[in-house]
Amino acid sequence: MITSAKTLVKFEKEVASSMTNDRLLIRLQLRVVTHQIERMERNLREVLEDELLDVSDAVRYAVARKWGMSDIADRLRSSAELDIVNEPIYQELLSAFLR
């Protein structure tokens, strides 16, 4: 419970730090996808379907939509859209992919 201005400032810093960490995590996941394609010479479909890669459904969904892989996007839609709706940071960073 926030009971003072000092507590509020601390809370705001923690939220900002969390958002920064989320931004970095999403960007890192996009880099993982890119790295797998460019350096590991894998195709995009193979990368998006690789369940061992540490890439969220929201990132996989956004990339699949961007590149017209509707079968993958359809399969990921429900879990991905839940994350995207509930986490504004996903909306901000993945909006270019979701158009």
pLDDT digits over 16-56, tens only? 666 678 888 989 999 999 999 888 899 999 999 999 999 99
Look at residue 33 and tell me if it is in a domain.
Answer: yes
pLDDT digits over 58-92, tens only? 999 999 999 999 999 999 999 999 988 888 888 88
- In angstroms, rounded to a whole number, what is the distance separating the alpha carbons of residues 17 and 24? 11
Q: How many domains does the chain have?
A: 1
Domain that holds residue 20: 5-94
Look at residue 99 and tell me if it is in a domain.
Answer: no
pTM for this predicted structure: 0.78
Q: In sequence order, which residues have a C-beta less than 8 Å from that of residue 97 and are 6 or more positions away?
A: 62, 63, 65, 66
Look at residue 35 and tell me if it is in a domain.
Answer: yes
